[in-house]
Amino acid sequence: MTADVSAARPSRDAGVILMGGVAAFCVYLSMYAFRKPFAAAAYEGVVGWSAVVDFKVALVVAQVVGYALSKLAGVKLISELNGARRGAAILGLIGVSWLALVLFAVVPPGWKVFALFLNGLPLGLIWGLVFSYLEGRRTSEVLGAILCASFIVASGVVKSVAVWLMTDRGVTEWWMPAATGLLFMPLLALSVAGLSRMPPPDAADIAERVERRPMYAAQRRDFLRRYGFGVLMLVLAYVMLTALRDFRDNFAAEIWIELGYEGVSSVFTASELPVAAISLAALGALMLLRDNRQALMAIHAITGFGLALIGLSTVAFQHGLLAPLPWMIASGAGLYLAYTPFNAMLFDRLIAATRQVGTAGFLIYLADASGYLGSVVLTLTRNLATVSMPWLSFFMASAVWSSIIGCVLTIISAVYFSRKLR
Please, what's the b/e burial string for 129-139 (b: 16 or more CB within 10 A of its CB; e: otherwise)? bbbbbbbbbbb
Q: For position 129, what pLDDT does the model report?
A: 93
Residue 388, pLDDT score: 58
pLDDT tens, position by position, 64-80? 889 889 988 998 988 88
CA angle (309 as vertex; 138, 377 as ends), nearest 5? 90
Please report the pLDDT score of residue 356 as a whole number: 83
Per-residue pLDDT tens digits for 75-105 = 898 888 877 789 999 999 999 999 999 999 9
The tally of CA atoms less than 13 A away on the side-chain side of residue 364 is 34
Q: pLDDT at position 264, please?
A: 61
| C-beta contacts of 199-206 below 8 A and 24+ residues apart | 199/12, 199/16, 201/136, 201/137, 202/12, 204/9, 204/138, 205/136, 205/137, 205/138, 206/136
For the chain, list residues with pLDDT below 70. 1-16, 250, 262-272, 379, 382-389
Q: What angle do CA 289, 295, 297 make, to 5 degrees?
A: 145
- Encoded amino acid at 213, one letter: R
pLDDT at res. 3:
45
